[in-house]
Amino acid sequence: MAENTTKDIWNDDDGAKEPPKKRHMLRKLLLFLLVLIAVLGLVLVAAWRDGTGFDALRRYFAYGTEAVGGEKTVYRYDTDNTNRFARVGTGSLVILSDTSLRLLGPDGGEVWSANVKMNAPALGQGGGLAVAYDIGGTALYVLDETGPRLELTSDGPLVSANLNSSGMLAVTTQISGTKGHVDVYGADMQVLFAFNAHRRFVADACVTEDGGYLAAVTMGQADSVFISNLVIYDLTQEDPVADYSVPDGLVTAMTGRGDRILTVTDTCLAVGNTAGKLLGTYSYNGEYLREYDLGGEDYTVLQLNRYQSGSVGRLVTVDDDGEEIASLDVAEEVRDVSACGRYLSVLYADRLVVYNRQLQAYATLHGPEHTREGGWLRSDDRCGFRRTVSAIKGRIYSDVYKLFSR
């Protein structure tokens, strides 16, 4: 009978041609690979079941790696109750108070600053830019991550200024002889459209996401009740092309998302479109609006309280049709709410919690008792930040911890 020379890696008795040590190492390697595949399978199943799928798995590894590394950026600035914050570029921070406007780079160093005098400082962001202005005053600045893109002194008191996702700017002012004036600046910060209102007062305005339309909130009164109306302008035409009424309440904020126009009032969230049609509303049903953010990818987050004072209430996410996505009961102090992309952050007294749009907790950072203000998310929803505030020698140290990395 011919000799069988076939080698069997599972058989220790297939001859002495292969050293025993080498065979044992090979078996251990195969066993390790089998265990690794099994573990990865379990992790994949867990990631899928938590409601966030493979995106959660990617973020889990990034978050875990960074949490171990402890990477952070420290931004130093003077403490001031009027401080406002906005992100520009890929990690720069704009800080506005009633006396100063500062731009800090991704490394925490100062890039640009100016002394200002503002009675009611306001700060917004969009398209990688920040707009700083004085409500009721005349000073306005637009900053990118290198410094000012626009500095102007308006002809009348400033009412509002909004940037869209492309960096187009709508500025509303009160001009003598009118009931409001709106200028639209293109991404190059040149005026490309303007109109004067003569029938109703203009309270706010924004450019739609596609840059084709302007939506302006006008205020009127009927039977001693204030009425909000949305007037739509095609930026290539002089006269308005559509309008619709916002039911029950005064508009406090607005934004354009896709072909939708979202307005937050003291009684409801209203959704309309550039054709002048009211598509839906989400009523607060007697609850009191405490916080909100329109920055979600396709949703808005609201904090509604049961009573005018106290902390008993709920967090709600609402889609762009005005339908509730999820609701989460809250019985503790909420200090700030911030939404961006697919995630939102909620700052409680002792921690920052990141949720998805279904209000499932995604990540939690516990912080010192001096945590005071705001969580915010990068526009690519990959980074969340927490500002922890502690007074040291008259200064405020703001530690910015990354939740998610690229």
DSSP notation for 276-339: S-EEEEEE-TT-EEEEEE--BSSEEEEEEESSSSSS-EEEEEEETTS-EEEEEEE-S-EEEEEE
Which pLDDT score, from 0 to 100, does residue 29 have? 74
Which pLDDT score, from 0 to 100, does residue 40 have? 65
pLDDT greater than 80 at residue 24:
no
| Banded pLDDT at 166 (limits 50, 70, 90) | very high
Percent of the chain with pLDDT over 90: 58
Which pLDDT score, from 0 to 100, does residue 167 have? 96
Which pLDDT score, from 0 to 100, does residue 226 have? 77
Query: pLDDT digit string (tens) for 290-339?
Result: 999 998 989 999 999 999 888 899 999 999 999 999 999 999 999 889 99
**Within-domain flag for 321:** yes
Which pLDDT score, from 0 to 100, does residue 377 have? 46
Q: What is the mean pLDDT of the chain?
A: 81
Which pLDDT score, from 0 to 100, does residue 309 have? 86
Which pLDDT score, from 0 to 100, does residue 44 have? 54
Which pLDDT score, from 0 to 100, does residue 51 have? 45
CA geometry: angle at 271 spanning 265 and 275, to 5°? 125
Q: How far apart are CA 343 and CA 296, in angstroms?
A: 7
Structure token pair of residue 130: 């920040």
**Within-domain flag for 175:** no
Which pLDDT score, from 0 to 100, does residue 249 have? 76
Which pLDDT score, from 0 to 100, does residue 314 have? 97
As a whole number, mean pLDDT of residues 159-168 equals 96
Which pLDDT score, from 0 to 100, does residue 406 have? 30
Q: List the domain range (segments joined by +) for residue 294.
A: 72-79+286-406
Which pLDDT score, from 0 to 100, does residue 122 have? 95
Which pLDDT score, from 0 to 100, does residue 33 have? 74
Read off the CATH number of the domain in which 339 is found. 2.130.10.10
Which pLDDT score, from 0 to 100, does residue 93 have? 94
**Within-domain flag for 239:** no
Q: How far apart are CA 129 and CA 136, in angstroms?
A: 22
**Within-domain flag for 197:** no
Which pLDDT score, from 0 to 100, does residue 392 have? 24
Closest C-alpha to 157, from 178, 134, 177: 134
Query: pLDDT digit string (tens) for 177-215?
Result: 999 999 999 999 999 999 999 989 999 999 999 999 999
Closest C-alpha to 346, from 294, 298, 293: 293
Q: Which of 206-215, 281-290, 363-372 has the lowest mean pLDDT?
A: 363-372
Query: pLDDT digit string (tens) for 26-80?
Result: 777 777 777 677 666 655 555 444 444 445 444 444 444 333 344 567 778 787 7
Q: Which of 92-106, 184-198, 292-306, 378-392 has the lowest mean pLDDT?
A: 378-392
Name every residue whose Cβ is closer than 8 Å to that of residue 138 and which is 6 or more positions away in sequence.
153, 154, 155, 156, 157, 158
pLDDT greater than 60 at residue 391:
no
Which pLDDT score, from 0 to 100, does residue 239 have? 94
Q: Which of 1-15, 141-155, 183-197 has the lowest mean pLDDT?
A: 1-15
As a whole number, mean pLDDT of residues 123-141 equals 96
- Pairing of the two strands 288-293 and 278-283: unpaired
**Within-domain flag for 296:** yes
Q: Which of 64-68, 129-133, 173-177, 225-229 has the lowest mean pLDDT?
A: 64-68
- Of 241 and 401, the one with more pLDDT: 241
Which pLDDT score, from 0 to 100, does residue 258 have? 86
| Banded pLDDT at 6 (limits 50, 70, 90) | very low
Which pLDDT score, from 0 to 100, does residue 119 have? 95
As a whole number, mean pLDDT of residues 224-250 equals 89
| Banded pLDDT at 400 (limits 50, 70, 90) | very low
**Within-domain flag for 352:** yes
**Within-domain flag for 345:** yes
pTM comes to 0.76
pLDDT greater than 50 at residue 398:
no
Query: Looking at the 3D structure of the chain, how many domains does it have?
Result: 1
Strand partners, 356: 343
pLDDT greater than 60 at residue 18:
no
Q: How far apart are CA 305 and CA 330, in angstroms?
A: 9
Q: How far apart are CA 172 and CA 231, in angstroms?
A: 14
**Within-domain flag for 193:** no
